[in-house]
Structure 1
Amino acid sequence: MHDGPVLRTNIGDRAVDLPASLDGIRASLSEDLREEFDREIGSALITDVPLIAARWSLPQEARDEDEAMLQQLRNGDFSGFTGLDEPSPAGAGQ
């Protein structure tokens, strides 16, 4: 649980409360990650702050999973991904 405002989302199959303020995000990070967060958020264009804050509010394991998927795509491996013009896998969204 976080002090201050929270956002509720699902990660995997569980509901998770995320910090909903920059101070809350910063307080939820380890000391070494706070410095990285401060640098990134401090140098960001104001239009990018919501996306950066959303990413940093996620638990580390969710950020690691996102980074692994991005690296897979950067490596040209599109297995497991569905393009916008492709039909959804059977049962998706039901």
Structure 2
Amino acid sequence: MSQSVDAAGTWTTVIGGELLEIPATIEGIRATLSPERAAEFDRVVARTHASKLPQVLADWALPAEALAEEDEVIARLKAGDHSDSVSQDDLGDGGGEAR
């Protein structure tokens, strides 16, 4: 997921070809969840190692269609279809700095 984070506490990402802002704070993500999901979120975040926290938060912040889109891309790549892919070698100097 390509993303940027603003000072207001949102991530900006592209999902389904559209620019979307999603919460980038624990409080913001929690506010979007039902009470049952919020309780599960609290349990997961409490057990998450700090090094993995950004990915866990992103997973909870992303809408279901974004996760489905990621699953489709992974399945396509596993099947050997690398169309629309860019080799890391083709990114040039500094290409790995921002996603």
Q: Give the TM-score band, short-chain normalised.
A: 0.5 to 0.7
Please state how far the C-alpha of 1:64 moved relative to its aligned partner.
4.2
Q: Percent identity?
A: 30
Distance in 1, Cα, partners of 2:57 & 2:39: 14
Moved over 4 A (4+): 67-70, 76-82
Deviations along 1:22-49, whole A, 9 cap, x unmatched? 1101111222221221111110111111
Distance in 2, Cα, partners of 1:66 & 1:7: 17
Alpha carbon RMSD of aligned pairs, Å?
A: 3.1
Of 33, 48, 62, 1:58 maps to 62
Deviations along 1:50-94, whole A, 9 cap, x unmatched? 110111110122234445777x59xx8666787x7xxxxxxxxxx
TM-score by length of 1: 0.62
Identify unmatched segments of 5+ residues in structure 1.
85-94
Task: Indicate the residue corresponding to 1:27 in structure 2.
Answer: 31
Identify unmatched segments of 5+ residues in structure 2.
1-7, 88-99
Alignment of 1:1-94 (within 5 A): 4-66=8-70
Secondary structure of the equivalent of 1:29? Answer: coil
Distance in 2, Cα, partners of 1:28 & 1:21: 11
